[in-house]
A and B are shown apart, each in its own frame.
Chain A
């Protein structure tokens, strides 16, 4: 199972773009990279998933360099409601067990 490393915490301000980078040096060829958001007392919520290059959806973008040893989650124009813990996970497919890292605690300030 690929191990992931993220910053423990980040602070930003409303309206700013926030980039959270995750390191996964031993990612396997068939592994996908998935990001989740978790609010207190709730289960993790899927944000975005990618394999290589760039993926974008209505809430975030995911940048993956060619070597796939890292990935960057980009949140455009954050608001106070984006304050949460963000987890970067690496897994092969839906039935893979996922080992959570410590995640990044993002705090958005007014």
Chain B
């Protein structure tokens, strides 16, 4: 079945550092990918829609200059958390569609911890 891969699975870094997370569709092409953030004991919160070859669409309240999204190819979208601070610590998850009338598939997430 369709597989979505995220890298890294976890990252710990100092405050002020920029962190890049990759999301790849391994066996299908994805013109659209989605990025979510999840805090402990809470549901997934959609951050933005990543569109191949064009600008991402951000949900209300999500800072586009803070969370940079690049979708340069049909199999790769990246999320860069710029100048990360402790409040950015969270679990970040991406998803991509698997085909017509097929469900979206999710990556295994990236645990980001900012010290």
Judge whether A95 and B91 touch: CB under 8 Å.
Answer: no
Judge whether A94 and B100 touch: CB under 8 Å.
Answer: yes
Question: Chain A 82-110 against B: per-residue CB contact (8 Å), 1 yes, 0 no?
Answer: 00000100010111011111110000000
Contacting residue for A43 out of B31, B46, B108, CB 8 A: B108
Chain B facing A: main interface SS: strand
Given A34-B103, A93-B100, check contact A101 B109 (CB 8 Å): no
Judge whether A101 and B31 touch: CB under 8 Å.
Answer: no
Q: Which residues of B contact A81 (CB under 8 A)?
A: none
Cβ-based interface call for B106 (8 A): yes
What total of chain B residues lie within 8 Å of the partner, measured CB to CB? 28
Chain A facing B: main interface SS: loop
Cβ-based interface call for A46 (8 A): yes
Cβ < 8 Å to B, chain A residues 14-64:
32, 34, 36, 41-46, 49
Q: Which residues of A contact B98 (CB under 8 A)?
A: 94
Cβ-based interface call for B113 (8 A): no
Sample of 14 A–B contacts (CB below 8 Å): A34-B103, A41-B91, A41-B111, A43-B6, A43-B95, A43-B107, A44-B93, A94-B102, A94-B104, A95-B97, A97-B34, A98-B46, A100-B36, A100-B45
